[in-house]
Amino acid sequence: MPAVTYILHDGTRRQVEVADGDSVMQGAVNNMVKGIVGECGGGLACATCHCYVDEAWAARVGAPTGAEDEMLEVTSCERKPTSRLGCQITISPALDGLVIHLPEHQF
């Protein structure tokens, strides 16, 4: 399984294995990573899985489009150029080693 490193706002690093086809949000929730809530369960309706893709991975992950781009306007923390919703990033072998930074809060 691909590994994803979640860096919490306080700098704590959590590296977990995430099943191929699961989202960054599912990986965090399934492994009890603090900092991603995923209140809507990945339905692109709440923005509580807001995260920042590490700059080294941003081009590979890609930019938000459509409804995700609109939802990023209502996040509780600052939107940055690498902001994404974790529910919209699908893990694949190409993303093995992905680094995700988490905002200070989701509400």
Does 106 reside within a domain?
Answer: no
Does 17 reside within a domain?
Answer: yes
Does 44 reside within a domain?
Answer: yes
Does 107 reside within a domain?
Answer: no
CA 65 to centroid of chain Cα atoms:
15
Check pLDDT > 90 for residue 107.
no
Number of domains in the chain: 1
Does 22 reside within a domain?
Answer: yes
**24-81: pLDDT as tens digits:** 999 999 999 999 999 999 999 999 999 999 999 999 999 999 999 999 999 999 999 9
* E-only strand ranges, 1-107: 3-7, 13-17, 50-53, 83-85, 98-101
Q: What is the CATH classification number for the domain harbouring 27?
A: 3.10.20.30
| pLDDT of 61 | 98
What domain range is 41 assigned to? 3-101
